[in-house]
Amino acid sequence: MTAALNLAKRAAELGEVPVGAVLVHDEQIIGEGFNQPITLNDPTAHAEICALRDACQRLQNYRLPQDATLYVTLEPCTQCVGALIHGRVSRVIYAADEPRAGSLVSARQLLSDGFYNHKFTFVGGLLAEESGALLKSFFKSRRG
C-alpha cells in the first residue's frame, strides 16, 4: 500500500485526485497506476484502470494471473469494479472508503448481487488514515 500511496502523491503533484494503485502477483508489482483523467484527457484513467492497463501490457495478456492482488488508496468506483472483474483480479485491498462513489461497501455493493461471473475478495482500511489525510489535504488546497 505504501507504493500505491507514493503513486497517489504523484497524481496530486499533477493536480489529479490523489489515488494510486499497484497490482501484485507472487510478491512482485506487475502493474501500477495513478489517477490521470485530466492529464490524459481520458475519463476512464482512474488509478485502478491505469494499473490494469500497465499489468496487461507487461504480461501481454488481457487477464491477470491467478492470485493477483490490487492495492489501491481509495475504494473503487463502479467503472473500476467492472474492470477488476473483467481482468480477473483475485483480491482488492483498499485504504479509505469512498462514501459517494465506492462500489464495494460504501455507496454500492456490486459484488453482493451474485450477477457477475467472477468475484474477488476485498478488505478496506489498510493505511486508511494516511490515504484520507492525503485526499483531505488535496481538496482543502483546491478550495483554499
Is 77 annotated for ligand binding?
yes
Contact criterion met (CB below 8 Å) for 49 and 33: yes
Is 80 annotated for ligand binding?
yes
Distance in angstroms between the alpha carbons of the first and the last residue of the chain: 29
Strand ranges for 51-107 from DSSP E: 69-74, 91-96
Cell numbers of 37, please? Answer: 483523467
**Which of 16, 32, 48, 98 is the catalytic position?**
48
Contact criterion met (CB below 8 Å) for 12 and 138: yes
* 129 is annotated as an active-site residue: no
Binding-site residue ranges = 46, 77, 80
Binding-site residue ranges for Zn(2+) = 46, 77, 80
The residues that are catalytic are 48
